[in-house]
A and B are shown apart, each in its own frame.
Chain A
Amino acid sequence: MDGRRKFLRNALAFLVSGSALGGVLKILPSSALAKEASRTGKWYGFGVSVDKCIGCTRCVEACKTENDVPKEPFYFRTWVERYIIRKDGEVIVKAVETKPEGVPESASDREVLRSFFVPKLCNQCADPPCVQVCPVGATFQTKDGVVLVNEKTCIGCRYCIQACPYGARYLHPETRTADKCTFCYHRVSQGLLPACVEVCPTQARIFGDLNSGASVMARFRRMNKIHVLKPALNTEPKVYYAGLDGEVR
């Protein structure tokens, strides 16, 4: 009798602790393993050739038009930064305005060491910190590796905005929900290119399936030395930069 009772008690304890442990294990590796998800099927990525960008910001305008991003200069799904590095080591960075005024002259300034433009957008991290922190799962990663926000369930707590190391997110002033680049998911899923890629006059921006062996993305990654932004944070960005300068953060 005692033996049976003891057995039952142990079995119960085992089940309870087992399910608790299972719960913990379920939480822990899901984020740790997510980065290797979906190596079959499509897995979208983005390429930026820094040397090709001329800072015309057609991409910024196209993005704002295509995605109804507020025109005010506080909300961007994509933007272009201009870097001017002087001989004395000073680094001047400015977000290029869509209607440039008072952009510092760099061509004639003998003190400028090098200067270039860097387009920025959501890095569509394979291991996205924004998805990790969203309390309601309103921001999520699609099977093809694009991080999206469901504006119907987002509660507007802005934790994802805090968690994004790249400043890629903002709170949309009208919907009061988090918003960011979607790789133009509505276009991509129709076989079209993202708006910014479409309008780039120098093909500084390219887009494609990382799993495909014959895409422009594959060629881009084969032909260039590649770098990503803030690799130390282990977010595994899928926006790849060719010719990225060490000063860019």
Chain B
Amino acid sequence: MTNEIFKSLSEILPQITGFIYPNEIEIHWGMLIVVYPYITGVVAGAFILASLVKVFNVKEVQPLYRLSLLTALSYLLVAPLPLLSHLGHPERSYEMFLTPQPSSAMAMFGFVYAWYLMAVLLLEIWFVYRTDLIAWAESESGPMKWIHKVLSLFSKDRSEGALAFDHKALKTITIVGIPSAFLLHGYVGFIFGSIKANPWWSSVLIPIVFLFSAIVSGVALVILLYMVITPLTGGKINMKCVDKAVDFLFYAVIVDFSLELVDFIHRVYQSEEEIKILSEMVMNKLFMSLVIIQVLLGMILPLGIISVTKIFKRRFSLNEDLRKMLYFISVLLIQFGIFATRWNVVIGGQMFSKSFRGLTTYKMEIGGIEGLLYALVLLVLPIVILTVLLKILPPWKEMKGEGNGKELTGEAPLGGMHAPEA
């Protein structure tokens, strides 16, 4: 084990440029820590999309509501895995719950996570599906009956009063959920942003940039999933819904892009001690992942495609299939862009020496716990979980609906008819 580490570190030695502190040769937070903020970002973003329906009353995206909640849950379940796997002593991770250090941002992870999982997501999904679960348990037989019965926590009440309570509870949970989703991902940003030793990370803007990139990645992923899953299940893609969701995505990308631009301009204009090494890093080591993938392919190109689609849609009533394809390409590009963003923050922050005199390099392993394959497994795992969840908690009725919020029991009055009173 140690010999392997020595060997891979020796291979990095010739690639070091300038001077770095001798302990800095090893990049400590690798692929797994890139995956982690990507995953939590999707959770937060998918939840924000769901809350568009519930709190902001955007009825067009109703078909995405349940799908985005289930997406958020499947990614949230995977979120602790990369963290656990990268620890030197995963078997001691419980110490973080038993004796957390109050001044440590990382120690708060367990609590933020537990809060978000228990008090927000699970609760919201339970209330959304409660009446359906009861109905399914009544109409089905075999193991599914029991699964649904247990999931409904043996509740049977479908009276007017119970339904009204469901609605009220959902509204409250979503309202609590939005700041919680912000907390979840803003907190991940803070883990990096609060490290004063590292000028690439240490910025007040980082938690906010993380938030908006989270919204971008979550919304884009849910659109992507919707566009893939719907045809697979024999449904028809609701273009009104996709148009609206892409609208939101478009604005989120613009905000995200502007924030990152502000950060960039600020750094270049202030031009502090570290600017030389950071620009050397961006122009050499990060050129591909930052300039090309993150900015050009992940932001500017999709922004361009979506703007063109928007313009042509209005002027020349752009063909629906073409629109679908353009949207699909855009959300796919955005996914890669956001993943590159996480990469550039995490890996970029460790490539330059804190002596500001040199650069090390990241050597990606293929196998092993820090390797590419395991990272891919972690990225596919949420999709597997989502498939299972879609089987147990099918959102088809809603996804195939017209998005007017009428076709679902227990969903019907929610679309917003209650909103004016609230």
Contact = CB atoms under 8 A, between A and B. Distances in A.
Contacts of B197: 129, 162-165, 233
Main secondary structure of the interface of A (DSSP, over half): loop
Nearest to B197: A165
B95 A167 contact: no
A133 interface: yes
Given A93-B357, A163-B195, A133 B106 contact: yes
Contacts of B92: 136, 153-155
A73 B22 contact: yes
Nearest to A162: B195
Contacts of B353: 167
Interface stretch (B24-32, B211-219, B220-228, B239-247): B24-32
A33 B84 CA distance: 33
Nearest to A72: B6
A170 interface: yes
B356 interface: yes
A159 B354 contact: no
B101 A137 contact: yes
A119 B25 CA distance: 18
A2 B68 CA distance: 47
Interface residues of A, number: 51
Interface residues of B, number: 50
A177 B109 CA distance: 20
A166 B100 contact: no
Contact of B26 (A133, A156, A171): A171
A132 B103 contact: yes
Contacts of B100: 135-136
B103 A26 contact: no
B28 A174 contact: no
Contacts of B28: 158, 161-162, 171
Interface of B: 1-2, 5-6, 9, 13, 18-26, 28-29, 83, 86-90, 92-93, 95-96, 99-107, 109, 191, 194-198, 349-350, 353-357
Given A133-B104, A154-B92, 5 more contacts: A72-B6, A74-B25, A132-B104, A135-B106, A137-B101
9 contacts: A93-B357, A155-B87, A156-B87, A165-B354, A166-B21, A167-B22, A168-B23, A173-B6, A233-B196
